[in-house]
């Protein structure tokens, strides 16, 4: 049995949606398979629409389409999409030494600092990341790579070749930099891109390989106001893919208690989550329904209270195990 598939890309109000007009057979039983294989006359199966859609906030393209089948010999189509993304604030980058970090600021080329030859860096890293992480290999890569560029060759700064003399050492790289009229430790004088004045400190600069990691803001940013809630607890769902809420955990709650923000705790943990109106009998302290106490057989002392639905659910689960929680109410 085959399913027909067509692709359409539409652009509506800055939301890009890939529509897959998929059609699947209405009868997928084994009897239909037997009829197709055993009979002499071929029976054309009927198809129904079972389209799928994938949406994104950025444009993307269908890169590859794979026509295949699974282990049950069922027709299978896989679609690979491709996006062209520019670096933005919050995107994650890393050098080849595990020195990772996120982009905190994107500055125009005219405002970047520049050295005496007019070269401005593509990326500026905080040097406080070196003492704690001890990525000395990155410093050697920068120094040896800078020497290699001025000699017009590819440098080799691996630690595995030093014993046999096949690797470029920092001492040899320093000699090359001196021969080319540069500072022997790879530092340069930089000038401010906004004022043009020289900076107060020497700046360690040079070529380093960087890679963009898959953790990007476009895939992770998430916010919601009202949205879907779980059926059992009536609390907001969890996770970005399900349009879930942002969890205020126990440690955040402890901070709010320490600050004395009782109204904020009430707003976060009940009003914006799973607030519920319940009836409570003031005589027996049990949850009741429709202003009638089933335990006391009267409705005179039944009152309304607001509590989280998860709290009400906990009381009912305790009662199912013969543990009776009783509420003692008082006027405030």
Lowest-pLDDT range of 1-10, 51-60, 175-184: 1-10
Averaged confidence pLDDT in the chain: 86
User: What pLDDT was estimated at residue 261?
Assistant: 94
CATH number at residue 175: 2.40.270.10
User: What pLDDT was estimated at residue 11?
Assistant: 44
Q: What is the pLDDT of residues 203-252, one digit of tens each?
A: 999 999 999 999 999 889 889 988 999 999 999 999 988 989 999 999 99
Lowest-pLDDT range of 3-17, 52-66, 101-115: 3-17
Judge if 108 and 31 occupy the same domain.
no
Last residue of a domain, one of 59, 82, 105: 82
Judge if 42 and 99 occupy the same domain.
no
The residue segments making up the domain with residue 297 are 274-320
Judge if 153 and 195 occupy the same domain.
yes
* Average pLDDT value for residue range 82-103: 94
Lowest-pLDDT range of 151-165, 191-205, 219-233, 293-307: 151-165
Judge if 76 and 98 occupy the same domain.
no
243 inside domain: no
178 inside domain: yes
Lowest-pLDDT range of 35-39, 128-132, 224-228: 35-39
262 inside domain: no
Last residue of a domain, one of 163, 197, 212: 212
2 inside domain: no
Judge if 52 and 123 occupy the same domain.
no
* Average pLDDT value for residue range 83-105: 94
Number of domains in the chain: 3
145 inside domain: yes
112, pLDDT greater than 60: yes
- Residue pair 308/269 in contact (Cβ under 8 Å)? The answer is yes
User: What pLDDT was estimated at residue 38?
Assistant: 53
99 inside domain: yes
Residues of 233-254 as b/e, b for ≥16 C-beta within 10 angstroms?
A: ebbbeeeeeeebbeebeeeeee
Judge if 32 and 73 occupy the same domain.
yes
* Average pLDDT value for residue range 125-151: 94
239 inside domain: no
User: What pLDDT was estimated at residue 144?
Assistant: 94
* Average pLDDT value for residue range 45-59: 77
Q: What is the pLDDT of residues 175-210, one digit of tens each?
A: 999 999 999 999 999 999 999 999 999 999 999 999
Judge if 59 and 120 occupy the same domain.
no
242 inside domain: no
User: What pLDDT was estimated at residue 312?
Assistant: 95
* Average pLDDT value for residue range 59-69: 85
Judge if 96 and 206 occupy the same domain.
yes
């Amino acid at each position: 049995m085959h399913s027909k598939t067509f692709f359409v890309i539409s652009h509506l109000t800055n939301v890009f949606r890939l529509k897959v007009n998929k059609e699947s057979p209405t009868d997928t039983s084994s009897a239909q398979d037997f009829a197709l294989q055993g009979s002499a006359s071929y029976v054309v199966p009927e198809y129904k629409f079972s389209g799928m859609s994938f949406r994104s906030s950025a444009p993307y393209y269908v890169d590859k389409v794979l026509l295949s089948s699974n282990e049950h010999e069922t027709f299978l189509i896989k679609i690979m999409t491709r996006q062209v993304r520019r670096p933005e604030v919050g995107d994650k980058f890393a050098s080849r030494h595990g020195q990772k970090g996120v982009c905190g600021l994107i500055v125009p080329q005219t405002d970047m600092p520049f050295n005496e030859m007019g070269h401005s860096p593509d990326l500026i890293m905080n040097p406080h990341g070196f003492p704690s992480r001890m990525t000395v290999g990155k410093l050697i890569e920068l120094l040896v790579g800078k020497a290699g560029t001025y000699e017009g060759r590819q440098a080799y700064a691996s630690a595995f070749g030093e014993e046999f003399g096949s690797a470029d050492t920092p001492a040899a790289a320093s000699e090359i930099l001196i021969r080319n009229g540069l500072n022997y430790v790879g530092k340069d004088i930089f000038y401010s891109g906004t004022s043009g004045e020289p900076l107060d400190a020497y700046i360690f600069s040079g070529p380093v390989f960087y890679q963009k990691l898959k953790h990007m803001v476009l895939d992770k940013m998430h916010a919601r106001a009202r949205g879907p809630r779980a059926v059992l607890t009536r609390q907001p769902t969890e996770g970005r893919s399900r349009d879930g809420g942002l969890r205020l955990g126990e440690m955040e709650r402890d901070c709010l208690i320490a600050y004395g923000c009782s109204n904020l705790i009430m707003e976060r943990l009940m009003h914006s989550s799973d607030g519920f109106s319940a009836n409570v009998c003031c005589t027996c302290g049990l949850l009741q329904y429709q202003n009638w106490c089933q335990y006391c057989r009267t409705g005179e002392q039944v009152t309304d209270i607001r509590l989280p639905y998860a709290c009400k659910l906990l009381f009912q689960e305790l009662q199912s195990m013969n543990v009776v929680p009783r509420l003692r109410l008082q006027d405030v």
